[in-house]
Structures are given as C-alpha cells and as structure tokens.
Structure 1
Amino acid sequence: MIAHSPLRSLGGPVAGLVTAAGQTSANVTDWPARASWLVGILLLVALVCWLMREGWRWRATLQSGLPALRALPADPGTPRLTMTGLYHGSTAAGQWLERLVAHGLGARSRAELTLYDCGLHVRRPGSTDFFVPADDLRAARLDNAIAGKVLTRDGLLVVTWAHGDQLIDSGFRSDHAAEHPAWTAALTTPNQHTPKEGAIR
C-alpha cells in the first residue's frame, strides 16, 4: 500500500510553497561558493594594486638622483601667458613611455601654467608645484601621447626642459585647445632643438 503525503494531497498552493522553499534552500546553499569567488576576486584586485604600488616605488627609487624641483621666485615679474588645464605627466625627453615619478612628477592633476620672462611656473592644486627657469626651457611641441596616455592628434602641449642632467618632457592639455599654438610659439625659438617625438602617429 502506497502512503500519500498529506501536503501532496493538498496540492495547489501548498505544493507551490513546498517547491519554493526547496528552491530557497538551494539558493542559500550557493552562498558559500559565491562568497569564495568574491573573496578570490578581491584578493586578486588587492594583489594587482600592491604590485602597481611597488612598481611605482621601485621607479621612484631609480629616479632618486633627480634634483628637487625648483620653486617660483619671490618676484617673477609680469605674466606673459597663462593657461589652465590638465597635467598628464612627465617622461624622459623623447621617450613617451618612460614615466618620471620622482618628486610627484608622475601624478596627473589639474594645472595652472604661467609663463614669465624668467621661466615657466606650473601650479598643481593638491600636488607638487614646480618652476622651470627660462634658461632650462628647451622647446615645446604639439603631440598626442605622454606617460602612456594617448589623446587626440595634437591634443597635448609637450614642454621640454632640463633639470639637472635630465631632459624632461611634460605634457599639458589646456581647457581651451586653441591656446596650444601660442604656447608652442612662445616656448620655441629657431635655435632650439626639439627632441624626436616619441608619440604614436
């Protein structure tokens, strides 16, 4: 004789509740596996971040011989040109992937550029400001890539300057791209040599 479950004999809504309860139980039992996947992903992300930070610190150690950045003189004179925009980073001149990170040069930031007769001042809110004396300014050009960042064609103003024994390319993007040509004209003279561009064309 076959025994029938009282719940089965009720059928309809009660049977549906039993089925839903079984599905809920199955879903609950999946949580440990899902939690394991989540923990694994978080650990992987943490490892990648740690490796990036260590790589940054290692690069900064290699560049520890770069002299400290100069500050704006007390009386720089009257500004010739001003520009606001973004600072995209600095590299060894002509090497658009050879990022410089010492003294905060590797951090992208907002930037306010002011050109004086005595040199170029770069103000970077929240980061390190620096000043390039006029005698250390070498050239300027329009380019499309620096420090691993690729933009639209001629979307960057790249200023080449000397600091200690190092020639440096620093990339800026004005809030108004139409300002770039005036800056290249002001920063480049016929007897200055522009290093070979390292950007992708």
Structure 2
Amino acid sequence: MSLAAPASTSTILLAAGEHSAPVTQLAARIGLSVLLLAVFAGLCALMWRGYQRRAQRQADVPAPASAAPNPLDPADGVEGVYASTTTHGDWLDRIAVHGLGVRSNAWVSVNGEGVFFAREAAPDLFIPAVDVVGAELAPGIAGKVTGGTGVVLVTWRLGERTLDTGFHPRAKADRDALVDAINSLTKEGTSA
C-alpha cells in the first residue's frame, strides 16, 4: 500500500495557484534595518553626550603627572589592564578628564618615588608616593569587573579629591606583590 499522494493532487494544487509564502519582503527588511541603525546611532550619541557632560562637571580635577621624576622602564613593571580611575568609594563614578577614565593595556612600576602606569594609547600616569593613600584587592571598578579579588585598587589624592585607580594584572601571582609594594610607600611616607 502506497502512502504517497497521487500525482493528480499536486497538479491540482499548482493549477489552483497555491504556493508558499514569500520568503523575504525586501522593502520591509531594509526599513527595519535602517530603523535599528538609527536607534543604535541615537543611543551612541546619548552615551557620548553623557560622557562629555561628565567631563565638563569634572573640569576642576587637576591634571595628574604623566611622567616619573626618574624614568622607569615599563619592562621592569607588572603587565596588565588599566581599568579606570574613579571617585574614591564610588566605583561607577569614572573620572572622564585627562584620560583617567580610558581603559588601556598598561605596565605598572613601583619605586620609592611613587607608582607609574605606562599606558598604551592613553596618557601615562604617575602617582607620587606622598599622594598614595593605600592599595587593596577589589572585585572590580568601572571598566573591569573580575569578581573575587582580581583588581588592584590604588587609592590616592589628586588636589582636593581622593581617587581610586583600578589595575588588573595579567598574572594572578602579581596581585599581592603589587599591593604590598604600593602599601610600602605609605609606610615609608609616614615614617619619614
């Protein structure tokens, strides 16, 4: 017994003008694509405007030093990711001026004079030892959330402001050593 439809049934369907629904409606797809691109561009423009307004509100933040008094070799430092600098205690309040909020690959070096961040595609940052408040491990900062204790958080003073700078070392073994080296600067400063 054959379950296949007789040839006459398919001939009848074709003769009756029945066919499958159109697969694409080009005009509707182009219109929807243009609409989605316009919404995306609008959202990007709003984010850019918000970042620019944040920079205007933070115009009173003085420019930090970008060079160490004695040049430090980045190769002697710890490699990782400079996440951002934020207002102390508010890890989402990113500092938008002077390139402090720009995420970049970096090397951090610590010596008796301070902490130096040699950054790629962003201004370098030098924090003098007298301005270092301390360092600790944290789960994240604006621009980098690792969970656990993956970010080295350096607390320091810039003018009248207290700031936090987040750095994520590539090697997990470098985290505690970096925190200890930075905290030793505060002990040296208080004993002098």
Q: Normalised by the size of structure 2, how large is the TM-score?
A: 0.81
- 8 Å CA contact 2:107, 2:117 repeated in 1: yes
Taking the aligned partners of 2:130 and 2:185, their CA distance within structure 1 comes to 15
Task: Provide the C-alpha distance between the structure 2 equivalents of 1:124 and 1:190, rounded to a whole number of angstroms.
Answer: 21
Matches within 5 A, 1:174-185: 174-185=169-180
Match of 2:128 in 1: 133
Distance (whole Å) between structure 1 residues aligned to residue 172 and residue 58 of structure 2:
32
Gap runs ≥5 in structure 1: 1-10, 193-201
What RMSD over aligned residues (CA atoms) do the two structures have, in Å?
2.7
* Residue 69 of structure 1, CA deviation: 2.0
Correspondence for 1:197: none
Residue 195 of structure 1: aligned partner: none
Quick one: structure 1 residues 38 and 77, their matched pair in 2 at CA, closer, same or farther if it must change by over 3 Å? closer
Partner of 1:69: 64
> How far did 1:117 drift?
1.0
Query: Gaps spanning 5+ residues in structure 2: where?
Result: 1-9, 188-192
C-alpha separation between the residues in 2 aligned to 1:46 and 1:147?
23
State the match for 1:32 in structure 2: 27
Task: Please list the CA deviations of residues 115-161 of structure 1 after superposition, one character each: whole Å capped at 9, or x if unmatched.
Answer: 12111111111111111111011100000021164212011100011
Corresponding position: 1:91 with 2:86? yes
1:72-106 CA distance string (max 9 Å, x none): 24525799x72110011111011111111111111
The residue identity in structure 1 corresponding to 2:98 is H
Instruction: Find the aligned partners of 2:69 and 2:112 in 1 and give their Cα distance.
Output: 14
**1:47-62 superposed matches below 5 A:** 47-62=42-57
Give the length in aligned residue pairs. 177
CA distance in 1, matches of 2:158, 2:177: 24
Any conservation in 2 of the 1:78–1:116 contact (CA below 8 Å)?
no
Q: Sequence identity, in percent?
A: 32
**Mapped partners of 2:87, 2:142: distance in 1:** 9
Q: Following superposition, which runs of at least 4 residues in structure 1 exceed 6 angstroms of deviation?
A: none
| 1:191 Cα offset (Å) | 7.2
**TM-score normalised by structure 1 residue count:** 0.77
- On the 8 A contact 1:96/1:148 being kept in 2, the answer is no
Q: Distance in 1 between matches of 2:55 and 2:99?
A: 9
